[in-house]
Structure 1
Amino acid sequence: MTIRHSNRPGPRVTVGEGAVKPRPPKAAGPGEVRIVGGVWKRSKLPVPVSEGLRPTPDRVRETVFNWLGQDLAGWRVLDAFAGSGALGFEAASRGAAQVVLLERDARLATALRANLKRLDKDNTVPMTIANADALAWMQRAAPGSFDLVFLDPPFAQVLFAAALTAAAPLLAEGGLIYLESPEPVEPPAALGLSVWKEGRAGAVHYRLLRRGG
């Protein structure tokens, strides 16, 4: 799989116009994802069967964390649609000061807790895992409380507009949103987000959006 950046971008859509055409969800078999950096580098996270679960590929995560930097000390991170937990665990592996994982599926949330317990035997990693609806949780959270928010919602549910709208107020000035989608999604101007980095891996488009300066 070749990752190419935005010199030759694909078609763009504006959030809220209903133009995103999601691909049908695929059922993920039991498997695992591998942490690609930090203190847990090469550790494997078992992933249970879940319809529509689509973990972010290793090479995409490697690219994104090269953009972010390998040391996230002091960062407050939210993984809003955690799924396999790959993005949130990558942030924790790189020393983030706070990592919150949200997962609506109770079975997946249980698997995330089991993986955390296995990796963090001394219970020293500042990670919280909540079995919660991401949109409702973000709407209740304090403004400016995160430096980085990962948004990788199920493609079939077309939650990109709602997720961006809920996540943007949670960012501190200069904070970042990672968004994964089937087509490049343009954030509404009212959210104060601009595209900082972007790339593509097969049918997946991914962007880092920055708030303010």
Structure 2
Amino acid sequence: MRIVGGANRGLKLAEVGAGDAGAHLRPTSDRVREAIFNLLGGGRFGDPVEGARVLDLFAGTGALALEALSRGAAEAVLVEQGRVGQKLIRENLRLMRREGQARLLAVDATRLPPHAGEAFSLAFLDPPYGRGMGQLALGAALAGGWLTPGAVVVWEEAEPQMPLPGTALLDRRSYGGTWITLLGVEP
């Protein structure tokens, strides 16, 4: 698994080891990550990456937020409850030398507390497939003030996802067994 674009292009990231199978992490493949960022960078949605404040829910290894940082995002908060994922995120931030631009939040993404700081303009949502956790996490982010009006949400699942109240469908694409649903947060 590598960073596929931007300033850190080609950097190999730390991944789940053979002894960590119980962590149930499913990192977004390089191919799907590249497709996501090509879609975001195509101009249809402005430039949601450059200078963005990024929220990565169910961050896993942190690959999506790290890819955004490599491509010009200003900062990122990576939400990961699992200890293996937290360790990988810390290691990957160190490898990329981005510790000053990112923060790990070790909480359950489905139970986000109210957010008091500046809201995020780009969010990645990569929950365990088929368990309804994406709806809960996005609902918590919306209710807690984590996302700006106009924010772009990139939701990765095994099935196409429907917009939640307060969001609108921007695009939907299938890449093999992965569906990417892009939502916009309504004003």
TM range, smaller chain: 0.7 to 0.9
- Aligned position for 1:30: none
- Is the 8 Å Cα contact of residues 25 and 85 (structure 2) preserved in structure 1? no
Aligned match of 1:127 in 73, 83, 102?
102
Q: Is the 8 A contact 2:57 2:80 kept in 1?
A: yes
CA distance in 2, matches of 1:163, 1:202: 24
Q: Which structure is richer in relative contact order (CA contacts within 8 A, separation 6 or more)?
A: 1
Bigger Rg, which one? 1
Q: Deviations over 1:108-149 (max 9, x none)?
A: 2112111211220xx67411122222222x332248600011
Q: Could you say what the CA RMSD is over the residues aligned between the two structures, in angstroms?
A: 2.1
Q: Is the 2:13–2:95 contact (alpha carbons within 8 Å) kept by the matching residues of 1?
A: no
Q: Deviations over 1:131-186 (max 9, x none)?
A: 222222x3322486000111101115331221221123422121111111111111
Could you list the structure 1 runs, at least 4 aligned residues long, displaced by more than 4 angstroms after superposition.
none
- Residues 25-64 of structure 1: pairs in structure 2 closer than 5 A: 33-48=1-16, 49-51=20-22, 52-64=24-36
Structure 2 alignment gaps of length 5 or more: none
CA 113–183 in structure 1, closer or farther in 2 if over 3 Å, else same: same
Q: Go from structure 1 to structure 2 and tell me whether the alpha carbon gap of 1:144 and 1:162 turns closer, same or farther (over 3 Å shift).
A: farther
**Match status 1:118 vs 2:90:** no
Provide TM-score, normalisation by structure 2.
Answer: 0.84
Q: Contact 2:62 / 2:92 at 8 angstroms: preserved in 1?
A: no
Question: Is there any run of 5+ residues in structure 1 with no aligned partner, and where?
Answer: 1-32
**Seq. identity, %:** 39
| Structure 2 SS opposite 1:174 | strand
1:1-213 maps to which residues of 2 (within 5 A)? 33-48=1-16, 49-51=20-22, 52-69=24-41, 72-120=49-97, 125-136=100-111, 138-142=112-116, 145-155=119-129, 157-168=131-142, 169-188=145-164, 191-212=165-186
